[in-house]
Amino acid sequence: MTDNDKKAALTERLAKCYSGAVYDALRERGIDNTVLPKDIRPIDDTHVLAGPVFTISGTPKPGISADDALLAWTGFLSTAPSGHVVVCNGHTDDIAMMGELSAETLQMRGVRGYVTNGGCRDSNFIRNIGFPVFHRFYTARDVVGAWSVDKMEVPVQIGDVVVKPGDFLIADIDGAILIPGEIAEEIVVEVEEVMNTENKVRSAIRSGTDPKEAYLTYGRF
């Protein structure tokens, strides 16, 4: 099995998990600084996004030509790899880091979704094609003549969390959680075990078991 095959298989397992259980597994290992800022939200609350990360970083560049901005942007779109989650540090509070044509392009390339501390536009179009985007704000203002990609596949900081190439990410309605790449498979195994135990607790509660008794029996609640 190739490295890409292993990542794809792990991604499919991670996509069946949920952010709360992943956070719990990381916390129990003493790894707490993994939650991206709470104001990074999905454009569609039903989306679950999971996979290895591909990072980009950029900055506002007042006066940059439309051509130069779009050449840098389309260069990123041409580079983003299939099966990955793009994580973008935009260093901006008023520019959209994602729009309809870009979402269409990434979706066609097999990219699993996009997470940014910047903005999003064309959001209804993106929602309609089902491409997962997690962002901080809506704005009609895009990158043209205003912003440029500076670096790709480098560590980027989103809030207090440093996201590195090789890490994994899961995001859903409750938030976005980073998983260090070196322990990603171990965390997924632990989360699968937790979810199996939670199913037993759920069944016990539904059958009338006292919640304290259920906790003492299964060790989780």
**Nearest to 70, CA basis, from 8, 145, 120:** 145
Distances (CA, A) of 113 to 31, 36, 55, 80: 25, 16, 12, 11
Which residues, in sequence order, are bridge partners of residue 56? 88, 152
DSSP 26-39: HHHTT--TTBPPTT
The answer to the question of whether 122 is labelled as a binding residue is yes
Cβ 114 vs Cβ 132: under 8 Å = yes
In the structure, how many helices (H) and strands (E) does the chain have? 7, 12
The answer to the question of whether 206 is labelled as a binding residue is no
Indicate the annotated binding residues for Mg(2+): 122
Pick out the residues of the known binding site: 121-122
Binding site feature residues for substrate? 121
